[in-house]
Structure 1
Amino acid sequence: MSFKIAIIGAGSVGFTKKLFTDILCVPEFKDIEFALTDVSEHNLAMIKAILDRIVEANKLPTRVTATTNRRKALEGARYIISCVRVGGLEAYADDIRIPLKYGIDQCVGDTICAGGILYGQRNIPVILDFCKDIREVAATGAKFLNYANPMAMNTWAAIEYGKVDTVGLCHGVQHGAEQIAQVLGAKSPKELDYVCSGINHQTWFVELRLNGRPIGRDELISAFEAHPVYSKQEKLRIDVLKRFGVYSTESNGHLSEYLPWYRKRPDEIARWIDMSDWIHGETGGYLRYSTETRNWFETEYPQFLEAASKPIDPAKRSNEHASHILEALETNRVYRGHFNVKNNGVITNLPQDAIIESPGFVDRFGINMAAGITLPEACAATCMASINVQRMSVHAAIAGDIDLLKLAVLHDPLVGAVSTPEEVWQMVDEMVVAQAQWLPQYAHAVPAAKERLSKSKVKTREWAGAARRSVRSIEELRAEKAALKQAG
């Protein structure tokens, strides 16, 4: 087979390498072309050198090109994969820092909450530019695979306004299933069968079977509470399991941002989080992790390049959806996964226009969703709160409507639990002014926002959050990795 895959945001070096090696684990795909594109020539050069080294080491005919000219990369592409972060870590730092001034403590801040909503405002105009290019220069019927957050908002915009065949992809379901299999004592995650449905980062394991045997609520609660690690790391997630009766896919820290109950008072946050790793609830945890990862990669790049000389091992193919979807579409080897698509009746008690995440099967005919799923009422109610925020956020981003943007942030569950309307209005003004270079649709609103800020009497505070850690130095990271290696 010979076709072209374009990767936008290919400067996300580690993730691009994973997608690349996964796809090349499919024997029929050895002769394809990868077109890499990014706004950073520096990152493009690094990832191209790594992928070229993989191709050379494995004696493959695979072609790899790299360009900052996105349209050129998309020309004739059958598949387009996006893993962009518009504004990079600079804008992301404001997504965390500014809401903290108003008492809003986020662990990740990339899906909803104040940070995720502003992230969506930055991404959506760029996503629509991608879609325009796809319609105009990509192969007829090209499929857009979106890995970038905020998943639901980006996918919603691409489908509804970009008019491109789009699917959103995330690995939260797989990771949640691995946890459940582990606490139940399974030898392999493959022993666990499940139906998991909802919206991205609020997906629920509504049916579980271990080697064909149904697993009920009480057994699952007991298994998690007895686990020596997860009982400490996933306290909030276990509490939701007890109250809702079903387990959420999302990590302890991430889940806490989508609910109005666990992060609204600083003295309560410590009860529900665990500081053994960023993902369990640390304030700005993913920002710290992302910063350390970037610094580590820049410093240790020669080691990454050397590691690329190793042979590709198909047994180590990851469970990221992309390679499996492409394999199913091209070879008709059926793949079952969980995909972000427009609802259109798949989940009976969520809105038709919402972007849902639910099971589907892929073959030559495309992605075929399993329709007719009804979520437990509490799960549907929690999803609805986020869907309403997502819908307003998408519409605000399309129209450049700062008033609608403020209403979207006001209706966010965690923001609403912490902040007053006056604080929300000022916070959004402050975020739009700080991020104006990435928000072209709000250029007309920035002067008035600056004027309001100059006259505002709403008090703020400089606050690091309830559980903040400093970015570690390269020396500290080296010492930690050495200690882990010695212990393991």
Structure 2
Amino acid sequence: MSFKIAIIGAGSVGFTKKLFTDILCVPEFQDIEFALTDLSDHNLQMIKAILDRIVEANRLPTRVTATTDRRKALEGARYVISCVRVGGLEAYADDIRIPLKYGIDQCVGDTICAGGILYGQRNIPVILDFCKDIREFAEPGAKFLNYANPMAMNTWAAIEYGKVDTVGLCHGVQHGAEQIAEVLGAKSHSELDYICSGINHQTWFIDLRLNGRRIGKDELVAAFEAHPVYSQQEKLRIDVLKRFGVYSTESNGHLSEYLPWYRKRPDEITRWIDMSDWIHGETGGYLRYSTETRNWFETEFPQFLEAASKPIDPAKRSNEHASHILEALETNRVYRGHFNVKNNGVITNLPQDAIIESPGFVDRFGINMTSGITLPEACAATCISSINVQRMSVHAAISGDIDLLKLAVLHDPLVGAVSTPEEVWQMVDEMVVAQARWLPQYADAIPAAKERLTKSKVRTREWAGAARRDVRSIEELRAEKAALKQAV
């Protein structure tokens, strides 16, 4: 087979390498072209050097090109994969820093909550540009695989306004299933069967079978509470499991910021989180991790290049959906996964226009969703709160309506639990002004926002958050990795 895959935001080096090697684990895919594109030529050249080394080491006919000209990369592409972060770490830092001034403590801030909503405002105009270019330059009927957050908002915009065949992809379901299999004592992940459904980052394991035997709430709670690690790292998820009756896919830190109950008071936050790793609830944890990862890659690039000389091992193919979807579409080897698509009746008790994440099967005829799923009422209620925020956020991003944007932020569950309307109005003005260069749709609203900020009487505070850690230096990271290696 010979076709072209374009990767937008390919400078996301580690993730691009994973997608690349996964796809090349499919024997039929070795004679294809990868077209990498990114705003940063520096990042492009680093990832191209790594992928070229992989091709050379494995003696493959695979072609790798790299260009900052997105349209050139898209020419004739059958598949387009997006893993962009519009505004980079600079804008992301504001997504965390500014809400903290108003008492909103986020762990990740890239899905909903104040940070995720502003992230969507930056992404959606760019996503629509991608879609326009895909329609004009890619192969007719090209499929757009979106890995970028905020997943639901980006996918919603691409489908409803971009008019491109789009699916959103995430690995939260797989990671949650791995945890469940482990606590239940499964010998391999294949022993666990499940139906997991909801919306991205709020999907719920509504049916679990271990070797065909149904697993109930009480057994699952007992298994998690008995686990020496997860009982400490996933305290909040276990509490939600006890109250809702089903386990959520998303990490302790992620889930904590989608709900209005666990991060609304600083003295309560530390009760529910774990500081052994950023993902368990650390204030601004993913921002710190992303910053350290970027710095580490820049410094240790020769090591990454050397590692690329190793043979591709199909046994180490990851459970990221992209390679498996492409394999099913091109070879008709059926793949079952969990995909982000427009609801359209798939989940009976969620809005029809929402972007849901639910099971489906892929073959040569496309992605075929399993319809007629009904969520437990508490799960549906929680999802609907987020969907309403997502819908308003998408419409605000499309229209440039700053008042609608403020209403979207006001209705966010955690923001609403922490902040007053006056605080939300000022916070959004501050965020829009700080990120103006990435928000072209709000250009006409920026001057008035600046003027309001000069007159505002809402008090703020400089606050690092309830559980903040400093970014570690390269030397500290090296020492930590060496200590871990020695311990093993």
With the length of structure 2 as denominator, give the TM-score of the two structures.
1.00
CA distance, structure 1, for counterparts of residue 429 and residue 340 of structure 2? 31
Report the alpha carbon displacement of residue 272 of structure 1 after superposing the two structures with TM. 0.1
What is the deviation of 1:428? 0.1
**Deviation of 1:331 (Å):** 0.1
Aligned equivalents of 1:360 and 1:17: distance in 2? 26
What secondary structure is seen at the aligned counterpart in 1 of 2:445?
helix
Matched residue of 1:444: which SS? coil
Q: Distance in 1 between matches of 2:70 and 2:211?
A: 47
C-alpha displacement at 1:15, in angstroms?
0.2
Quote the offset at 1:172 in angstroms. Answer: 0.0
| Post-superposition offset of 1:81 | 0.1
Cα deviation, residue 139, structure 1: 0.2
Q: How big is the shift at 1:413?
A: 0.1
Work out the CA distance in 2 between the residues paired with 1:176 and 1:105: 24
Q: Report the Cα distance in structure 2 between the residues aligned to 1:456 and 1:432, rounded to whole angstroms.
A: 15
CA-CA distance at 1:287 after TM superposition:
0.1
Give secondary structure in 1 for the equivalent of 2:467.
Answer: coil
Alignment partner of 1:104: what SS? Answer: coil
Tell me how far apart the structure 2 counterparts of residues 442 and 485 of structure 1 sit (CA, whole Å).
Answer: 49
Report the Cα offset of residue 300 of structure 1: 0.1
How far apart in 2 are the matches of 1:347 and 1:179? 25
Shift of 1:184: 0.1
Distance in 2 separating the partners of 1:319 and 1:483: 29
Q: Post-superposition shift, 1:330?
A: 0.1
Provide, for residues 142-201 of structure 1, a one-character-per-residue CA deviation record: whole Å limited to 9, x for no partner.
000000000000000000000000000000000000000000000111110000000000
> Structure 2: how far apart are the matches of 1:469 and 1:270?
13
Q: 2 CA distance for matches of 1:165 and 1:180?
A: 33
Find the aligned partners of 1:303 and 1:472 in 2 and give their Cα distance. 20
* Residues 14-55 of structure 1: per-residue CA shift (max 9 Å, x gap): 000000000000000000000000000000000000000000
Between the aligned partners of 1:140 and 1:283, the Cα distance in structure 2 is: 44
The Cα shift of 1:406 comes to 0.1
CA shift, 1:10, in A, is 0.1
Structure 1: which 4+ aligned runs deviate by more than 6 Å? none
What do the CA deviations read for 1:237-269 (whole angstroms, capped 9, x no partner)?
000000000000000000000000000000000
CA deviation map 1:92-139 (0-9, x unaligned): 000000000000000000000000000000000000000000001100
Structure 1: state its 5+ residue gaps.
none
Cα offset, 1:232, TM superposition: 0.2
Q: Distance between the aligned counterparts of 2:282 and 2:480, measured in 1? A: 18
SS of equivalent residue, structure 1 residue 23: helix
| Cα separation, 1, equivalents of 2:379 and 2:486 | 43
Partner-residue secondary structure (3-state), 1:242: helix
What's the offset of the Cα at 1:312?
Answer: 0.2
Q: Secondary structure at the match of 1:259?
A: coil
Q: CA deviation at 1:271?
A: 0.5
1: CA distance between counterparts of 2:339 and 2:384?
Answer: 18
Partner of 2:225: 225
Instruction: State the shift of 1:292 in Å.
Output: 0.2
Deviations 1:195-235 (CA, angstroms, capped at 9, x unpaired) = 00000000000000001110000000000000000000000
For residue 401 of structure 2, what is the aligned residue in structure 1?
Answer: 401
Task: Provide, for residues 349-393 of structure 1, a one-character-per-residue CA deviation record: whole Å limited to 9, x for no partner.
Answer: 000000000000000000000000000000000000000000000
Aligned to 1:337: 337
| Percent of pairs with identical residues | 93
- Name the SS of the counterpart of 1:34 in structure 2: strand
**Whole-Å separation in 1 of the counterparts to 2:328 and 2:97:** 43
CA offsets, 1:264-317, max 9 Å, x none?
Answer: 000000100000000000000000000000000000000000000000000000
Question: 2 CA distance for matches of 1:385 and 1:484?
Answer: 42
Write the distance in 2 (CA, Å) between the matches of 1:227 and 1:58.
Answer: 41
Structure 2 Cα separation of the partners of residues 188 and 287 of structure 1: 33
Alpha-carbon distance in 1 for matches of 2:309, 2:275? 36
Q: Could you tell me how far apart the structure 2 residues matched to 1:406 and 1:190 are? A: 45
Unaligned runs of 5+ in 2: none
Equivalences, count: 488
Distance 1:211 1:48 in 2: 43
Q: In structure 2, how many angstroms separate the alpha carbons of the residues matched to 1:178 and 1:477?
A: 27
| 1:412 to partner: Cα distance | 0.1
Aligned twin of 2:36: 36
Query: In structure 1, the residue corresponding to 2:443 is in which secondary structure?
Result: helix
Deviations 1:314-362 (A, max 9, x none): 0000000000000000000000000000000000000000000000000
Query: What RMSD, in angstroms, separates the aligned Cα atoms of the two structures?
Result: 0.2
The CA distance in 2 between the partners of 1:57 and 1:310, in whole Å, is 7
Q: Distance in 2 between matches of 1:226 and 1:287?
A: 31
Structure 1 residue 469 displacement after superposition: 0.1
Q: Alpha-carbon deviation of 1:415?
A: 0.1
Give the Cα separation in 1 of the matches to 2:484 and 2:151: 33
Matched position secondary structure for 2:461? coil
3-state SS of the aligned residue for 1:352? coil
